[in-house]
Structure formats: structure tokens, C-alpha cells
Amino acid sequence: MEKLKKYRQIIQGLLTSHATNNDPNIECQLLFDKEQDHYQLLDLGWQGLTRVYAVYIHIDIKGEKIWIQHNMTEYDIGKELVEKGVPEDDIILGLHPPYKRPYTNYGVA
């Protein structure tokens, strides 16, 4: 249980550190579902007549593993998690198909 608490804190801190936006018409939102362990960073708003709704980072915790489900940023989220003390085997690149995961430095599931 202590491990899950630590992982939740790390993920929330990581997403919070990436939650920046310089456009007053775009709202950067952090969504933390601490009961189901779903965490997202997204932008929403308007740029002129164009609606903006984009999920940039989506991370889940499943079975005491951190699953990177979506990353549309230039940041290496896996590397940042390792730098914060998460073992590579506890990080799953859910954004890659299962057959590719054994060729990464991270867990396979």
C-alpha cells in the first residue's frame, strides 16, 4: 500500500510540473482519479473559432505498475519516473503494443 501511495504522489507531482499554459483562452486541467488511479493532463478552450480539447498525458496505475497510456509531449515520462525512484520494471508503456514492450527498458505488463 505504501508503494501505491508513493506512486500516486510521484504521478501527481509529475503532471503538475508539466501543467503550464500561456494562452488565457486555453485552460490546462489536471484530472486525478485517486480511487481508480487514472491521471490526465489536458487542455481545453478556444483558439479563435477552433475548439481545443487535447489529452497530452494519460497515466494509470494497474496492479501496482505505472502504465503510460498516452504521451503527446516532448518529455520522456518513463525516464522522469525512473529519476523519481520508480523501478523500470514497474513502468509499462501501454502506448506501445504488447509485442514491442520486451524491446524497451521497461516492464512488459
Give the pLDDT of residue 73: 94
**Residue 94: inside a domain, yes or no?**
yes
CA–CA separation, 4 and 15 (whole Å): 16
Residue 91 has, within 13 A of its CA and on its CB side, a CA count of 20
- Please list the pLDDT of the chain residue by residue as tens digits (109 residues): 799 999 999 999 999 999 988 889 999 999 999 999 999 999 999 999 999 999 999 999 999 999 999 999 999 999 999 999 999 999 999 999 999 999 999 999 8
Give the pLDDT of residue 21: 82
**Residue 109: inside a domain, yes or no?**
no
Domain of residue 48, residue span: 2-103
Amino acid at 78: G
CATH code for the domain in which residue 30 is found: 3.30.310.110
Tally of domains within the chain: 1
